[in-house]
Amino acid sequence: MSQSDRVSEHRILTGKVVIATHNAGKLVEMRELLAPFGVEAVSAGELGLAEPDETGTMFSENAAIKAIAAAEASDLPAFADDSGLCVDALDGAPGLFSARWAGPDKDFSGAMARIEAELAKRGATDRRAHFVSALVLAWPDGHTELFEGRVFGDLVAPRGALGFGYDPMFRPDGLDRTFGEISSEEKHGVDWQSGNALSHRARAFVTLAAACLRRPG
Which residues are at the interface with ligand IMP (CB under 6 A)? 23, 82-85, 98-99, 131, 163-167, 179, 199
d(CA 28, CA 22): 11
Please identify which of the residues 5, 75, 82, 126 carries the catalytic annotation.
Answer: 82
Closer of 20 and 123 to ligand IMP (Cβ): 20
Closer of 124 and 162 to ligand IMP (Cβ): 162
**Angular region, 160: left φ>0, alpha ψ -120 to 50, beta rest:** left
Smallest separation, CB 144 to ligand IMP (Å): 17
Catalytic annotation present for 126: no
196 is in an annotated binding site: no
Smallest separation, CB 38 to ligand IMP (Å): 25
Smallest separation, CB 49 to ligand IMP (Å): 15
d(CA 108, CA 94): 12
Q: Closest by alpha carbon to 12, among 212, 214, 205, 211?
A: 212
Q: Taking the CA of residue 87 as centre, how many other CA atoms within 13 Å lie in the half-sphere pointing to its CB? A: 25
CA 46 to chain CA centroid, Å, is 19
Decide: 83 and 134 in contact? Cβ < 8 Å. yes
167 is in an annotated binding site: yes
Binding residues: 21-26, 53, 82-83, 164-167, 187, 200-201
Positions at the binding site for Mg(2+): 53, 82
Residues making up the binding site for substrate: 21-26, 83, 164-167, 187, 200-201
Catalytically active residues are: 82
